[in-house]
Structure 1
Amino acid sequence: MIAVASSSPLHSNSHLQRSSVSLTYTTATLTCAHPFISLLQKCSNTLQLQQIHSLMLKTGAFHNDPLLFTRLLFASCSFSDDPFSRRYALQILSLSPFRNTIVYNSAIRGFSLGSMPEECLLLYLEMLEEETFFPDLYSFPSLLKACSRISAFSEGTQLHGCAVKVEAVADPCVQNALIGMYSACGMIGDARLAFDKMPERTCVSWNCMIASYAEIGCWEDMKSLFWLMVEQSSLAPSSITLVRMITACTRSGDFNSGKRVHRYIEENHVVLSVHLGNALMNMYARFGEMETAHKLFDEMPESDVVSWTTLVSGYAGVGCLEHSRKLFGKMPNRNVVTWNAMIAGYILNGCFKEAAFLFGEMLALDVKPDKASIVSMLSACVQLGDLRMGRTLHAYVEKVRTNFPLELVNSLIEMYSKCGSMDPAEALFKRMEVKNEISWTLMVVGYVKCGEKEVALEIFNKMPHKDGVSWNALTSALAHCNYFSEALSLFHEMQRAEVSSNDLTLVSLLSACGRVGALELGKWIHAYVDRNNIVMDAHLASSLIDMYAKCGCIELSLEVFDDMPKKDVLTWTMMIQGLAMHGHGKHALNLFNQMMQEGVQPDGITFIGVLSACSHGGFVDEGRHYFNLMTQVYGISPKTEHYSCMVDLFGRCGLLSEVEDFMKNIPTNSNGEAIWGALLGACRIHGNVELAEYAMNHLLELDPSNSGAYVLLSNVYAKASQWADVVKVRNMMKGNGIQKMPGCSLIEVNGTVHEFFAGDISHPQSKEICLLLDEMEQQLESSNHLQEFDICTGYI
């Protein structure tokens, strides 16, 4: 067959000249083997190999040089990526004039490095069966490497036994190959056992074992072994091992060990190669030490695009966007990763429009975006709520890509669903050949947020596999969208299905319990947290405090608060707001003073609770003091909520002229509905008709359909006995088509949440409930505690 190949037109000199390997040697030159070895080293495919083989046959070099034949055989086995190439390689071996162990080892090594490493093992078995070959020290490393590449653990252990039998296992190269094989097959314990049994460990052995730990992310074992190598052997780790060690410190969050490795590098005068310098820069950048990272950059003998990108990404990560952008502009070369880093930096810092502008610049310069670019920009669209940009990105992807990776499709679905456009999300979802739990969950949560909870629950029930993330995501979404009953029902299903709840779900459910007054379920969740030893972090504790306060159990809120070993501003704020809600104004203010004494910095939300406590308690002087403290000492700019608390405070105390003076100093952009609503409420209490009409006009300018404004003004007129004006207001509401939203109340009884709307008699016990309410009303009338009725609706 080989002789035929030499005369075949496929292997003629004309074809050889057209190949990528340049063969310009004369016949006299070809009698020497060395040019052929050079050509074989440059050879890149089977066609070129066959052409070189043809010339070797013509010149007779093939039969005169064992080394040349061995190189030819090695190359043919390395290209055995299809049945024809494999047969060609085996035919060269079968027609070999030199049948010895060296030749066989060359074939085994070639197969082990090729695209079909399993052929190495098949060849080994065939030769053993023919009893033409017996393995030696040079056979096992290649055979074990083939086992590593295809995770052939059973075959690898058999080779280990054979190596022991022929006493080859003591060779360091065989031992290193065993470590690599066991670790590649996921048997890291066996790899470490082989390492520990080595009588003498070379630098390659240490580096091989360290690399094995790095491959599977066993960072602590890797770090321990590294320091063992450094401290107990005279061997120095290679540059690659140092890079792996720094990467391990970075990924495991062990900054101290990373700095220790850096000291080792400096003390031992290790040359700072590009890869080692980049690893150190990346570590310091990840931990926010940008001054050191930049110093390393300046000290590196040479830098590459990765070095620059690390600086750009690092400065963006610590919020220094201006510096990051300047470095980006100075870069001598940029690749798509660099553009992605700058775009991601803008998105990380909330500069979504700047990210979109940079993406446009990237396209204008003909830099082709990759999957990461599109995914980042889709997240910016979500944050901006920019459906138009999202659709443009989708159209671009459809135009330039033939295949859609799962992550990219999921990002598109997330963009459409969070922008409230479920039709294109549904179309993408139906087109997907492969859907994972994330795909299903995005659809479910998207429909909940669009107000179609029935569709969401239907999709959820059709999910082929529901993981904990799916359950928790749907439960949290229902709670956030005020579908409290459905959220609590789903939580009960989770418990029956023995699905664990995460912190986010528990926080959402506690919020739902507070909103619907489900005290017993809230207590059960609290017990669930204790029973499962869930860490009581600030968010979870704050949610419990808020839930107990809203369910009327301020004492239990205080118990949770007092049991917290470490309190942050969120925990203090929730407790202050809870006390203010229950009318314990003095206690709330005392707690705020204690908070400041302990050095906890209050924020704007904390001051809302403090000012609310002053408002409900009628503490005018204290209110002025804390408002000035917030603005002048802590430098917090007042928001609409702060202004409305002050207006409510002055209004409750009848200081209406002071309210007018205070409101003149409120900026226009903070002059919201809550402020004018508070003023209108104060007018209702004190019967100031003229000021109520003034407040009403401003309130309707902001929101003409505000039914509460009409109701409050109607009550002001009723209190002043101006009945004609009451009728006028009611006629205005009818004429403008404005209806007061019916009040809604929820209460938990025996673990079931009952929901009531004003005027609704659909509850099966509505007759008994109305009779009890009538009895309560009579008792309130007899004790002169009956509050005013809403003139327009007839409800308290």
Structure 2
Amino acid sequence: MELDLQSCARLLSTINSNQSLPHGKQLHLVFLKRGILNSALTIANRLLQMYTKCGQITDARNLFDEMSERNCFTWNTMIEGYMKWGKINNSLDLFRLMPNKNEFSWNVVILGLVKAEELSVARRLLHEMPSKNEKVWNSLIHGYAKTGFPGMALRLFKEFIDWDLREMDSFVLATALGACADARSVDLGKQIHARIIVDEVEIDSVLASSLVNMYGKGGDLDSASYILSRMQNPDNFSLSALISAYSNCGRMDDARRIFNLVTDPCIVLWNSMIAGYVVCDKVLEALLLFEEMHREGVIGDSSTLASVLNACASAHAVKNCLQVHVYGFKLGLLDDLFVASALIDTYAKCGCPDEASKVFNELKIHDTVLLNSMITIYFNCNRIEDARQLFELMPYKSLISWNSMIIGLNQNGCPVEALDIFYRMNRMDFRMDKFSFSSVISACASIASVELGEQIFARAVIIGIDCDQIISTSLIDFYCKCGFVTDARKLFDQMIKSDEVSWNSMLMGCATNGHGNEALNLFHEMRGVGVSPTNITFIGVLSACDHCGLLEEGKKWFYSMSNDYHIDPGIEHYSCMVDLYARAGCLEEAMNLIEKMPFEADSSMWLSILRGCVAHGNKILGELVAHRIIELDPENSGAFVQLSNVFATSEDWERSASVRRLMIEKKIHKSSARSWSDI
């Protein structure tokens, strides 16, 4: 029986899934038996196309290699198949071997590389392409703009203009304007706008919204508003662009005015307004607008939920977060990674790590960003093993993943394990950044390993990031914790200090190493150059006053915190003041401060008063305070030792000895001092 080759070709073109593939393979077998493949190139090409469509790349390549005759269609089909199924290197190798490349060949490879975000390779091929076309230019410009390289996108756009294409495409113009917006390059945006006017390009809704967005992000709100006013029927995307522009400049009243002009706003406009309120830190207004939207019967999307959850996180509004969680569940949006990440982050920021963990465990898929967030959350609630296990199971570990592990382990008292992670990075020749080095230098500070810390800093010098402020600040903290305050001060005096962090590190280093007067001088110098002190600054100042016994100075700055700097004292500040009063013998004032403070006093605060009682011979108060500490912490050896000392200083030797005997009976051992030492 004679085969109808045209019917066979049509049949092969309909096979595009693995379900119908067996029929195609049966036909392949028939063709082989009849010897048709070597004589009918069209049939062989259709068969090759069938295999690539169904993802059977190995079968396709075997067929390609067996073909005695090939044309451009054959080569292009195989090259496109490799590119479609992620075999980029195979596609490029075959493309280089192709004898007579046509325009379609170049388009397939360059567009595929752009889609795979292999932009540098795509750009090189674009320059090699003998006859460039608008499609590849547009694709590559859009690829750079979409992946966060607006500068490169604009450079390519200039090359595109120099290529002297007579008629500009509105799509590439909109992409170029978007790149101008991201790069805040209003001047170049104006030039493109002028080109649009000169070439009489029709300004459609996409181009108009791109112009509004470009002028808005560039801060030229008058031009943005003018373009919108010239539009006969402004579309929602143009209105959204202007609302976002006003929001980014903090002009929420103007943004709301534009929003209120629309009688029936779509979800895009609601989202722009809600996101604008969140950006401007008007979280209550964002939540109220979301409620209004819900009352109007407008159904939210993933962008809505992400913005509202960000508002909940900023306001620490757990109740609202729970409501949004339920709302997202009803809409079926909780499997959206964008929403899930925002929900997990919000629960974590609201102090509900267990809820965050539940949401995470219910997800079917995860991305690297979400896994990194979860590692940080686990560390923040001391779930070290969970963080470690999650990290080890990650299929792809980004630089943030490694840095999160180093920071988390160090903050949870595991500096040696943090160093092990760093060594693993180093052995893998993994690219490190300033956060990697600053975190591992902090780990060295925790174990006071001077030699190791300096070796790691030497590596930062080789890479060329040693002058970075974050690394310099970590090094100051490192030297201070190792007791080398002079070296820390030398580095501090040489570095550029753009914020209060480096000042705080140096000030705390001086205070904790007993250089109280130097710490106070540094504090006055800090204020003199216009750097505003923070709550951490005042911990250092009060510690310095405590070490130097400067009671009046300490009282002055303690009350100045709230009166002059509007900083509410935390428990660390109260602890410094209680210790300062106790050392000075002002035990009554110390007790009064404990009674007035908005925190529950911990055992360390009571121990400060107890030491004061021992030093100043207040047996009655000392006994009361010691019993109070033992109630709070029955295993606290310091309380027993100090109580014994209280009795000893008043020559009540019998009661002093009885306290020591009680320690032996309760098997409470005096805590021995420890120190790190390099071997």
Shift in Å, 1:210: 2.3
Q: Which residue of 2 aligns with 1:192?
A: 126
Q: How many residues align?
A: 618
Aligned to 1:359: 325
Alpha-carbon distance in 2 for matches of 1:621, 1:215: 60
Alignment partner for residue 392 of structure 2, among 424, 436, 440? 440
Which amino acid in 2 is paired with 1:584? Answer: H
CA distance in 2, matches of 1:696, 1:683: 10
Q: Please say if 1:565 is aligned against 2:504.
A: no
| Distance of aligned partners of 1:270 and 1:734 in 2 relative to their CA distance in 1, 3 Å threshold | farther
In 1: Cα distance, 2:582 partner to 2:282 partner: 46
| Percentage of identical aligned residues | 24
Quick check: 1:271 aligned with 2:229? no
Which runs of no fewer than 5 residues in structure 1 stay unpaired? 5-68, 91-102, 164-168, 398-402, 430-437, 443-463, 753-796
Give the one of 163, 185, 193 matched to 1:257. 185
Q: Distance in 2 between matches of 1:290 and 1:535?
A: 37
How much does 1:651 deviate? 2.8
Aligned pair partner of 2:282 in 320, 330, 335: 320
Note the alpha carbon deviations across 1:561-585, whole angstroms, 9 max, x for none.
1121224212111211222233332
Shift of 1:593: 0.9
Q: Are the aligned partners of 1:121 and 1:146 in contact in 2 as well (CA < 8 Å)?
A: no
1:232 and 1:121 map into 2 onto residues whose CA distance is 37
Q: CA deviation at 1:546?
A: 2.5
Q: For residues 132-151 of structure 1, what are the structure 2 equivalents within 5 Å?
A: 149=84
Distance 1:2 1:576 in 2: 94
Do the aligned partners of residues 384 and 636 (structure 1) sit closer, same or farther apart at CA in structure 2, a change above 3 Å counting? closer
> How does 1:534-613 map onto structure 2 within 5 Å?
534-613=465-544
- Equivalent positions of 1:412-451 (< 5 A) are 439-440=391-392
2:151–2:183 CA contact under 8 A, matched in 1: no
1:370 corresponds to which of 335, 354, 357: 335
Match of 2:229 in 1: none
Q: Give the AA of the match of 1:325.
A: L
Contact 1:676/1:699 (<8 A) preserved: yes
Output the CA distance in 1 between the equivalents of 2:355 and 2:334.
15
* Cα deviation code 1:293-318 (max 9, x no counterpart): 94897499997545544544454355
Matches within 5 A, 1:138-217: 149=84, 152-157=91-96, 161=100, 163=102, 179-180=110-111, 187-194=121-128, 197-198=130-131, 203-204=134-135, 206-211=137-142, 213=144
The verdict on how the C-alpha distance between 1:700 and 1:413 changes in structure 2, with shifts beyond 3 A counting, is same
- Relative to structure 1, the CA distance from residue 301 to residue 564 in structure 2 (aligned partners, 3 Å threshold; closer, same or farther) is farther
- Check whether the contact 1:80–1:115 (CA below 8 A) recurs between aligned residues: yes
Contact 1:78 1:113 in 2 (8 A): no
Q: Which amino acid aligns with 1:188?
A: A
CA distance in structure 2 between the partners assigned to 1:547 and 1:216 by the alignment: 38
Distance 2:582 2:126 in 1: 76
* Contact in 2 for aligned 1:285/1:310 (Cα 8 Å): no
* Distance of 1:113 and 1:239 partners within structure 2: 34
Task: Tell me the distance in 1 between the aligned counterparts of 2:140 and 2:289.
Answer: 39
Residues 701-741 of structure 1, C-alpha deviations (whole Å, 9 max, x = no match): 54454332232222122111122332343455566x37245
In structure 2, the partner of 1:722 is 652
Q: CA deviation at 1:255?
A: 3.6
**Pairing of 1:28-67 with structure 2 (within 5 A):** none
Moved more, 515-524 or 117-126: 117-126
| Pair 1:669–1:216, CA change in 2 (3 A) | closer
- What's the counterpart of residue 781 of structure 1? none
Specify the structure having the higher radius of gyration (Cα): 1
What TM-score do the two structures reach when normalised by structure 1? 0.62
- TM-superposed CA distance for 1:161, in Å, is 1.8
Give the aligned partner of residue 338 of structure 1.
304
User: Would the aligned equivalents of 2:243 and 2:256 in 1 still touch at CA under 8 Å?
Assistant: no
Q: Per-residue deviation at 1:600?
A: 0.9
User: Relative to structure 1, is the Cα distance of residues 371 and 271 closer, same or farther in structure 2, using a 3 angstrom cutoff?
Assistant: closer
- Could you tell me which runs of 5 or more consecutive residues in structure 2 were left unpaired when the two chains were aligned: 29-41, 214-236
Aligned to 2:31: none
Cα distance in structure 1, aligned partners of 2:11 and 2:351: 57
How many Å apart are 1:633 and its aligned residue?
Answer: 0.9
Q: Which amino acid aligns with 1:602?
A: P
Conserved 8 A contact 2:302-2:333: yes
- SS of the equivalent of 1:565 reads coil
1:527: which partner in 2?
A: 458
Q: Distance in 1 between matches of 2:443 and 2:113?
A: 52
CA shift, 1:670, in A, is: 5.5
In structure 1, distance between residues paired with 2:156 and 2:325: 45
**Structure 1 counterpart of 2:413, which letter?**
N
Superposition RMSD in Å: 5.4
Letter in 2 for 1:77: S
Quick one: distance in 2 between partners of 1:408 and 1:580? 39
Deviations 1:651-684 (A, max 9, x none): 32333454455555x3242544443332222222
Measured in 1, the distance between the counterparts of 2:144 and 2:424 equals 41
Residues 343 and 493 of structure 1: CA distance in aligned 2, closer, same or farther (over 3 Å): closer
Q: Could you tell me how far 1:555 is from its partner in structure 2? A: 0.8
How high is the TM-score relative to the length of structure 2? 0.71
Instruction: Output the amino acid matched with 2:204.
Output: V
Cα distance in 2, alignment partners of residues 84 and 382 from structure 1: 51
1:650 paired to 2:612: no
Determine the C-alpha separation between the residues in 2 that align with 1:229 and 1:518.
56
The residue correspondences of 1:727-742 to structure 2 (distance < 5 A) are 727-730=657-660, 733=663, 737=666, 739-740=668-669, 742=671
| Secondary structure at 2:503 match in 1 | helix
Counterpart of 1:8 in structure 2 is: none
**SS of 2:675 mapped into structure 1:** strand
TM-fit CA distance, 1:689:
1.7
CA distance in 2, matches of 1:245, 1:302: 31
Shift of 1:478: 4.9
CA 1:636–1:142 in structure 2 vs 1: closer, same or farther (change >3 Å)?
same
Work out the CA distance in 2 between the residues paired with 1:296 and 1:240.
Answer: 30
CA distance in 2, matches of 1:240, 1:89: 44
Go from structure 1 to structure 2 and tell me whether the alpha carbon gap of 1:294 and 1:3 turns closer, same or farther (over 3 Å shift). farther
Deviation at residue 499 of structure 1 after TM alignment: 6.4
Q: Establish whether residue 630 from structure 1 lines up as the match of residue 561 from structure 2.
A: yes
